Each structure stands twice: as structure tokens, then as C-alpha cells.
């Protein structure tokens, strides 16, 4: 559906790497062009009309994001460069002060590098413990395992709501209840979920949420950090400079702006924020529930088709998202991806930045198909066909 809105799809490609980044509809690029061509001034310089317009459009997107994830206030929305930046701000701007020696942070082995490495770095400078909640046989997180892992030292749970290789959809609503019962802060990596399903930070009582614009039809270089106001007020900036200070003296006396501007030092990605706003409007016009249901249907179709191919090994056929990791029997994943590229089918090979997942599934590398709403059953048929005739794989790639 909606394929005519994506000019790149005219180039005869089948794009199945939406977990890495998504394609852009015309309206997103046009919104950014409109800024650059018609009111491309800096924000927060209200002395002339086009700057005022830029500031207004920028701040309007904050309200859109607030509504999109159902936050209480636009003050709780910080623009960052992406989910990675958001997580680093949380870990080094908030957790560094919040956590004390001996405290424990719970992650899982299927987290993306951006939700592991900041914590491992923090553990080097603070004497805190990073532990991993065991996953079940399907490499999924269960509430039981979570409950059993929590102890009196656990202060933070930081997990993806949908993981980027296994694609399991975590029950954030229940996880948050369990966390808060034990006074644990819940950080949610929404990079793979916010683009694909309805997000409600109030209903799910999420303390911190991060996501990237480019994985939800928006431009690269912009992302979001959501935090409950009480936490954001306590968070320290990790970047200092223009745009975030009220005044400062040579003596070092300084006062920073209020939240969320305090965390947006320097000229922000104005065009990108405006592009993200257009992406949100576009997604809302389709409806997040519709997108999620359609992707689940596509995934079921994909699995049912691939299951009949005995050469294909599927690693996560049951997970409830549009992500499927697979290998062709006896073929290195990169060779499979290069083979599929000969049919203009874009899939990702590798560890997908989930480098510790190999401990869990005993497979270092997989090919990953990650779907979005503009994918079709016809595209899946072409993939299935290419994989069926892959006996000549090396003839094609060598």
C-alpha cells in the first residue's frame, strides 16, 4: 500500500532492510525542501519573520511527537541525533549520577549495541553491575525470567520493545508494572517498535523512551529522547554550548535553559526535525494499528512460504513483528545477501549490531528481512522464488 508515495520504489528494487532504515515518502523530502527553499533560517532568533517561522515549525514537531507517543507534555520531548544519541544522553546525563556503587542494570543479550555499549562504558567508570535477563528457547524475554532476575540491587531495566534481530515484541505494559513495583526505572529502546505500532508512554508508564527518525520514514540525523518530566529535570546535559544557556559570566557562573532546550546544544537538525514532523503526519494518516496488523500478516505470509523451502533455516518465525532472520543451509549469510542483490532484493547480512546475540543463538551471522507497510506479498513471492532457485547461487555471485 501507498507505494506511489515512495519515488525510490520506481527503481525496481525490493527493499527488505527497514530495520536498518526506511524509505522516504515524497512529503518528507518536500517538507525539508520547503524549509531550505522558503524559510531556512536558524531557530530561536525571533527578530525576523523567517526565523520565527522556522522556530514555530520546529516546535510544532515537538507537539506532534508528544501526541504520537501520547506524552503528557511537549517539555518531555528532546530532539537528538538518533536513538544512539538519546541512550548516551540517558546513560551519561542521568544514570551516571542516579546509580550508586553495586547497583545493577538489567539488559538482554538481544539488545542492539546502542543499548549495551553505553552501559558497559558506564560500568567501567562507576562500580555498577550489568546483568542479562535470560531469554527462552525462542530467544524471547518472558515476564517470569524478568521477575526471577530482579533483586534488591536492580535499579534499571533497559530493553528494546521490539528487538532488531529476533523481532520479539515485549510486553512493555506488564514489564513496566513489574519494574515500578520494585522501584526500578524502565528505559525502552523503541527504535524498532515506534515506527511499526502504536506507542503510549502514559498507558505503558514508560520512564525513558528513545527512537530514531530515519527508521520511521523520517530523515537521518534526528531522533527523540522522551523522559518523564521529573527525570528530565534531574538529567544533566552532556553537551554544552549555544542555544542551551540562559546566561554565563567569565567567572564561570552559568544558568542553563529549562527542559527540553537544555539538552539541545548547538544548532539542531532543523530541517530533519521538520521532516520527522511530516513523517509522523504521514504515519498517522495511515494509522499505526493498521500498519502493525498489515506487517504481521506479511510476516506470516513470508514464514509460510519460506517454511516449505528445506534449504532455508528460520530463526524467529514466531515473533510478532515484521523481522525475520534466516540463513540458507551451508551458505555464509553475506553470500546469500549478495546473491539476492542480483535480483535487486535488499536484505541485510551480519550480526545486525546485536553482537552478543551470538551467545544466545550460536549463530554469528544471519540474513535479516525487515518489512514495512509498503512491502507486498508480490515482493515476498519474488524473494521466495529467488531462494528456491538458489542452487546456482555461486554461479550468480562468482
Segment 343 to 372, residues that bind another protein, using CB under 8 A? 349-351, 364-365
Number of residues that bind another protein (CB under 8 A): 14
| Distance of alpha carbon 290 from alpha carbon 297, whole angstroms | 11
Answer yes or no whether residue 13 interacts with another protein by CB under 8 A: no
Q: Which of 41, 52, 338, 356 binds another protein (CB under 8 A)?
A: 338
Q: Which of 243, 334, 376, 388 binds another protein (CB under 8 A)?
A: 334
- Residue 248 or 394: the one with the smaller Cβ distance to another protein is 394
**Residue 346 annotated among the catalytic residues of the structure:** no
Answer yes or no whether residue 392 interacts with another protein by CB under 8 A: no
Segment 175 to 234, residues that bind another protein, using CB under 8 A? none
Cα 211-215-219 angle, rounded to 5 deg: 100
State the DSSP string of 100-153. Answer: -TT-EEEE-TTS-GGGTHHHHHHHHHS--EEEEPPP-TTS---HHHHHHH--TT
Stretch that binds another protein, among 18-26, 74-82, 190-198, 331-339 (CB under 8 A): 331-339
Q: Cα 353 vs. chain centroid, distance in angstroms?
A: 12
CA gyration radius for the chain? 22
Contact map string, positions 277 to 316, toward another protein, x by CB under 8 A = ----------------------------------------
- Residue 51 or 365: the one with the smaller Cβ distance to another protein is 365
- Residue 178 or 331: the one with the smaller Cβ distance to another protein is 331
Closest separation in Å from C-beta 256 to another protein: 38
Closest separation in Å from C-beta 309 to another protein: 21
C-alpha distances out from residue 233 to 31, 76, 355, Å? 32, 9, 34
Q: Which of 168, 295, 335, 379 binds another protein (CB under 8 A)?
A: 335
| Distance of alpha carbon 15 from alpha carbon 326, whole angstroms | 16
CB neighbourhood size of 207 (10 A): 22
Q: Which residue in 288, 215, 233 sits closest to 18, CA to CA?
A: 215
Backbone phi, psi, residue 102, to 5°? 90, -15
SS3 355: helix
Closest separation in Å from C-beta 189 to another protein: 22
Closest separation in Å from C-beta 351 to another protein: 6
Q: Which residues bind another protein (CB under 8 A)?
A: 332-335, 338, 349-351, 364-365, 394-395, 397-398
Residues involved in catalysis: 353
Amino acid at each position: 500500500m501507498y507505494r506511489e508515495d515512495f519515488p525510490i520504489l520506481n527503481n525496481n528494487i525490493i527493499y527488505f532492510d527497514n530495520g536498518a532504515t526506511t524509505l522516504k515518502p515524497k512529503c518528507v523530502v518536500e517538507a525539508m525542501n520547503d524549509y531550505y527553499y522558503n524559510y531556512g533560517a536558524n531557530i530561536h532568533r525571533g527578530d525576523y519573520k523567517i526565523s520565527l517561522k522556522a522556530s514555530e515549525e520546529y516546535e510544532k514537531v515537538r507537539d506532534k511527537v508528544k501526541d504520537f507517543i501520547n506524552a503528557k507534555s511537549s517539555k518531555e520531548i528532546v530532539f537528538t541525533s538518533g536513538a544512539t544519541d538519546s541512550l548516551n544522553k540517558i546513560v551519561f546525563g542521568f544514570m551516571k549520577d542516579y546509580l550508586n556503587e553495586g547497583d545493577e542494570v538489567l539488559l538482554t543479550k538481544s539488545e542492539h549495541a546502542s543499548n549495551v555499549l553505553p552501559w558497559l562504558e558506564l560500568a567501567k567508570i562507576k562500580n555498577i553491575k550489568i546483568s542479562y535477563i535470560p531469554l527462552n528457547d525462542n530467544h524471547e524475554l518472558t515476564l517470569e525470567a524478568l521477575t526471577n532476575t530482579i533483586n534488591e540491587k536492580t535499579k534499571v531495566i533497559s530493553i528494546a520493545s521490539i528487538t532488531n534481530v529476533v523481532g520479539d515484541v515485549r510486553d512493555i505494559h506488564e514489564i513496566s508494572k513489574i519494574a515500578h513495583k520494585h522501584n526500578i526505572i524502565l528505559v525502552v529502546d523503541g527504535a524498532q517498535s515506534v515506527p511499526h505500532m502504536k506507542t503510549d508512554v502514559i498507558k505503558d508508564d514508560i520512564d525513558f523512551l528513545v527512537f530514531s527518525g530515519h527508521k520511521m520514514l523520517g530523515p537521518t540525523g534526528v531522533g527523540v529522547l522522551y523522559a518523564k518530566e521529573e527525570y528530565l529535570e534531574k538529567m544533566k546535559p552532556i553537551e554544552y554550548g549555544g542555544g542551551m544557556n540562559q546566561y554565563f559570566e567569565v567567572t564561570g557562573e552559568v544558568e542553563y535553559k529549562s527542559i527540553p532546550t537544555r539538552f539541545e546544544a548547538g544548532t539542531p537538525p532543523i530541517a530533519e526535525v521538520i521532516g520527522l514532523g511530516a513523517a509522523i503526519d504521514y504515519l498517522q494518516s495511515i494509522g499505526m494499528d493498521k500498519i502493525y496488523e498489515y506487517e504481521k500478516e506479511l510476516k506470516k505470509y513470508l514464514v509460510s512460504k519460506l517454511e516449505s523451502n528445506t534449504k532455508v533455516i528460520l530463526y524467529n518465525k514466531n515473533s510478532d513483528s515484521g523481522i525475520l532472520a534466516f540463513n540458507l543451509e551451508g551458505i555464509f549469510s553475506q553470500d546469500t545477501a549478495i546473491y539476492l542483490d542480483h535480483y535487486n532484493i535488499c536484505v541485510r547480512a551480519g550480526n545486525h549490531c546485536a553482537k552478543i546475540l551470538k551467545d544466545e543463538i550460536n549463530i554469528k551471522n544471519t540474513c535479516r528481512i525487515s518489512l514495512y507497510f509498503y512491502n507486498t506479498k508480490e515482493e515476498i513471492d519474488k524473494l521466495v522464488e529467488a531462494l528456491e532457485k538458489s542452487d546456482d547461487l555461486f554461479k550468480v555471485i562468482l
